[in-house]
Amino acid sequence: MILVSACLVFVAASENVAGRIAFLSGTEQPDHRVCLLDAATGDVTPIGPGRRDGAPCWSPDGSRLAFESDAPGGRGIYVVRADGAEGRLLTHTHDWNARPRWSADSTKIAYSGGDGLDQHIIVYDLAQERETVWGGPDVKLVRPVWTWTESLVAARLIPATENLSSEVLIAIALTGSPGKMSTDICAVTPDRIYPLPTQTPPAPKDYVEWAAEPHPKGTAISYESNDGGDREIFVLSAKKGAFDVSNHRAADWNPIWAPDGKWLAFESFRDGRRGVYRVFPDTLRVYPVAVAKDSDNWHPTYSPDGDWLAFVSNRTGDPEIYVADIKGEAVRQLTNHPGHDYAPAWQPKAKP
């Protein structure tokens, strides 16, 4: 494995920032490669094949990474150990496969696979090396992410009678027909889907929901919707139903939960350009983390302890990885490369 710190220069890391961050490095062309950044030393190690790698996602035990990469005839899911060893492309039924997400026990990977809008949720069992289609054959689903079955049952979002494993998926169902297409957020089991009540009353139209992210404990789901006229961040919980937590006339995108589930980080254009913000859903107070008038800041990822956010900023011209404490102070640039460095994903702490 080659260290490329001469190319990707570590600028200055906080003394308190530690751990590893996976990210994409490349240009506008199909040379994106998954790399690992040591947040303490700034060392960068390329570990992906560099075939238009995309969407890196850590296993919850922090031992492996899954990401997209070019594969014969389309795109496949690539899995590699955290040290870059044992990289392999999964064997797929479909040519096009996207956005892998790990189950909590790190034994399964869910992703969307298919052609065009004919997308299905595929679950790959790493022990059995086998794909299974979830949700039934007649639904179009994308962007799966795992959550706890028990929490959905407790919230009466799926029936208690189902004989299910401990985890099910939340995904986006592509609904309607060309000319009237829309989306719904669904719980997805191996056999069927359960649309979730994501629309705020009186729900006069079919809104387009996106970017669903379950709460770490499964007690709520954050997502974005154009309910209300522009794109907003919503939270669906058993107690409160669906409610708008970002509420601004500018677009709000891509919510992610803090590891303790108390805060949401998201992207917003409320100050002009794209910036990173946090909201405390219980009070709806929004705080800026990384905002600038003349540059974009996006794609936040929490450190495992929740004290830091890594994100992408093009404040020097090219997208680079930065880190800040959660108040947006102590901002440090972590990469400095003439191409693009982006899509950071902070490695979870290994469970003992």
Partner 1 sequence: MKRSFPAVLLLITVSAAARDAEDALALIRTPHNGFPAVILPGGTFDAVLSEKAELRLVDGDKGVALAVTGQPLLGGKWQAECTVPLDVPPGSYVLEARTDTKQDRTVRAVFVRDKFAEYYVLAHVTDTHVGSNRNAQASEDIFRNVIKAVNTSQAALVLVTGDVTDGGEIEQFRAFINILDTCTLPTFVCAGNHDRQALNYERFFEPDTYLFRFAQDGYISFDTKDSVVADELGPQNADLEVFRRAIKPCRWSIGLSHRYEPDMGMRSQLTLFVDDPLDYFIFGHWHRANREDEKKVPWGTTPIVVTPAAINGAIRLIDVSPLGIRPRTPQYVADVD
Which residue in the set 16, 315, 330, 349 belongs to the binding site for partner 1 (CB under 8 A)?
315
341: β partners: 25
299 forms part of the interface with partner 1 (CB under 8 A): yes
Among 234, 302, 342, 346, binds partner 1 (CB under 8 A): 342
Residues 315/292, Cβ–Cβ less than 8 Å: yes
Does 72 interact with partner 1 (rule: CB under 8 A)? Answer: no
Minimum CB–partner distance for residue 349 and partner 1 (Å): 24
Smallest gap from residue 269 Cβ to partner 1 (A): 6
Contacts with partner 1 in 182-241 (CB under 8 A)?
Answer: 208, 210, 226, 230-231
154 phi and psi, to 5 degrees?
A: -60, -35
Among positions 36, 71, 98, 164, the unique one binding partner 1 when judged by CB under 8 A: 98
Q: Strand pairing partners for 25? A: 33, 341
Choice between 305 and 318, CB closer to partner 1: 318
Beta carbons of 172 and 181 less than 8 angstroms apart: no
SS3 154: helix
Which residue is listed with tokens 């962007």? 143
Alpha-carbon gap, residue 221 to 197, rounded angstroms: 11
Q: Shortest distance, CB of residue 101 to partner 1, whole angstroms?
A: 13
Q: Which residue number, 32 or 215, has a Cβ lying nearer to partner 1?
A: 32
Asked if residue 55 binds partner 1 (CB under 8 A), the reply is: yes
| Residue 149 parent element (H or E) | helix 149-154
Sheet holding 44-46, edge to edge: 44-46, 33-38, 20-26, 340-346
- According to CB under 8 A, which one of 17, 22, 32, 145 is a site residue for partner 1? 32
Q: In this structure, are residues 61 and 348 in contact, taking their beta carbons and an 8 Å threshold?
A: yes
In angstroms, give the least distance from the CB of 22 to partner 1.
12
Query: Do residues 64 and 82 make contact, with C-beta atoms less than 8 angstroms apart?
Result: yes
Which parts of this chain interact with partner 1 (CB under 8 A)?
A: 24, 26-30, 32, 52-55, 68, 75, 98-99, 116-117, 119, 142, 177-181, 208, 210, 226, 230-231, 251, 253, 269, 272-274, 294-296, 298-299, 314-319, 340, 342-343
